[in-house]
Structure 1
Amino acid sequence: MNELHERLRAALHAELPAAFELRRELHAEPYVSGKEEPTLKRMLDALPEGSAMERVATTGALLRVGGEGLAVGVRGELDALPILEETDVPWASRNGAMHACGHDVHLAALAALTRAVDRVRAPAPMVAVLQPREETHPSGARDIVESGALRRNRVGAMIAAHVQPVLDAGETACTPGAVNASADEFTVVVRGQGGHAAYPHLSRDPVLALAQIIVAAQQLVSRDADPMTPTVVTFGIVSAGTAPNAIPGEATARGTLRTMSEPWRHQLHHRFREIAEGIARVHGCQAEVRVMHGEPVLVNDARLAEETGCMLVEAAHHMPATLRSCGADDFAHFASVVPSLMLFVGTDTVSGLHSPYFLPGDETVTAVAESLLAAYLAAARVIGAGTG
């Protein structure tokens, strides 16, 4: 570990006690997507004074520290989930929302890193990206990208970290290439001809057609997708009818299409539509298919991953070889325009993400902050600022 890394790490650790307290404040008063203004205000109060700040995406902001030149953007998510918390800590949320995905941890670690970079003569400027609406559509990350804010703030690379309970505490995954899947929502409406359940030959049953569509769609995974390309087709909502002795005139299903390949993603949409429309037609029905584009595939920049891996090893972090998931994150929108890296940081909790019991400890705030520091230094090197 070189002298600059040591000085930044010392400055970071000096900020951690305040970060732990900030995390508790954020956790106790969470706000769901689109209503994050109080969280944004608290974060801006916690970040260095006198820094250049730009409001973005309605309830978000970018704050720059460290001078001129190409900057490293570091993302923190502002929003919580509409989950009723069931932990028993004194600082548990009581308002019906909950930071059940670790966003409070990410924000506290981001605050500590921003203050450390501001205190030490750092190798590159840093832009703290306080992003709203990670959990819902429309995506806050997409809005920030489309606003041109990254370009105006001369962001040359983006980094982020996400807590991940499938990893043990002390582990940080730094994986090149595709690490999260695209995630697109679909709605299928099958329209037939309703009638009495005793006279099916006089009807055109949309429920039967939809059932066949659900089964056949799974063959997109087993027979259309390259076996080396992760693909998931999930039907999460199926609804039809109002009476047990009647064939309804319409049946509806909603779900998601996920894959780790951007080219196959578009073919997947096309084939899904073909299957639904074709099966409905065979059953004498009609199918209307709507696909709402969500997050693209999240691709980690190979050089950023390699450089960050070296930094993590120097800092005595244990790093698993790979971690890839068919989960999705709108950080992928940043990765589509600048070299980017998403780290996954192990937690000390057995509860999973989005659980009402999810509650990592202070050690996870420290681990996320140290992982972000390693990625920040690596990104500074990659964008040409050097490390001093």
Structure 2
Amino acid sequence: MKKVLSIILGGGAGTRLYPLTKYRAKPAVSLAGKYRLIDIPVSNCINSEILKIYVLTQFNSASLNRHISKAYNFSQFSDGFVEVLAAQQTPENPSWFQGTADAVRKYLWLFEEWDVDEYLILSGDHLYRMDYQHFVQRHRETGADVTLSVVPIGYKTASSFGLIKIDENGRVVEFSEKPKGDALTEMEVDTTTLGLSPDQAKDKPFIASMGIYLFKKEVLVNLLKQYVDQTDFGKEIIPSCAKDHNIQAYLFDGYWEDIGTIEAFYTSNLALTKQPAPDFSFYKEDAPIYTRSRYLPPSKLQDCQITESIISEGCILKNCRVHHSVVGLRQRITADCVIEDSLLMGADYYEPMSESSQNRTKGKIPMGIGEGTTIRNAIIDKNARVGRNVQIINKESVEESEREDLGFYIRSGIVVVLKNAVIPDGMTI
């Protein structure tokens, strides 16, 4: 694994995850109360003994830089590192990243300096646990130029992914990026050849690329220099080289979720509360998910009713009811609150009790969730100040709305309260 260099793509502006990406890069969005999305691919790399890791990003990268610098410091006796490479303008490349392949191309001069055999290209917004050692082993055994990690999927999401067809040896013979209509129908395959049962194959007749690529070093270098006008791996580079390169498919049979939209992000987080065991679990000692150490105190629960929920460290909850929800770091929930089917991201810092009392005395809203508030089917971003007797329940069942002036958006019926927003006493959303 010392001969593998990992390159994690931070994604574009993250418009589908907006407003969670208003102040942060997509990989820096919170996950499961205490983690960030970037922790998933980085931890997978570390657990797979791949310790040379670059993260490419260009939008709102300040919080991502801060998180990585504080979370991942390897021993000085190791050559391991996790380093952010932000988009930069140079005399040769005056423009920003134009796509996944373009981002890698613009830092190719740096990647070429490493004495490695393969480049592992990863996405920064997926939730899964994977041992890349098996992936690399399959790549080397088949003598592949490129290996794609793939999963079988159904009709509902098929048009959102790159779909492939393979031959009996697992070689990719056709690749179509996000096909629709007749083009989608043409990509149907018999997935029983992948080991699925007939019933499973009926529900999942497509093979989707996970956006995880392993390239031979010289192959990637040549492709990026040959197809200089092509800016994206999935849409252009891989379809262009499918005929004259050995592209292999590696079947991933574990849990995998693309967290690219508000709905997917919300659903994936709440799925972590599932009993007795969620599809993705952070409770795995031989493959832990790492994150920044914050040295916060244990959470304090005073006369609360908590069911099917995750409560992160450093929280103070008083005389409230929380059901099927994820509560993030340093979150304060006061008396007579009801939190259901919601994700509360917590706070970046503590507001002292004395300051909270002074704010209330001055007519200002303290940090946290005020007395008598009800929150259902919502995401409350960090440092939000929600007043007393607020109803965040999407009363009129609105699917889409943009009320940034009032501190919230509605996406797929989910109310998203902005970071640092102030929701006044008695307001109903």
Q: What's the TM-score bracket when you normalise by the shorter of the two chains? A: under 0.3
TM-score norm. by structure 2 comes to 0.23
TM-score norm. by structure 1 comes to 0.24
Higher relative contact order (CA 8 A, sep 6+): 1
Higher helix share: 1
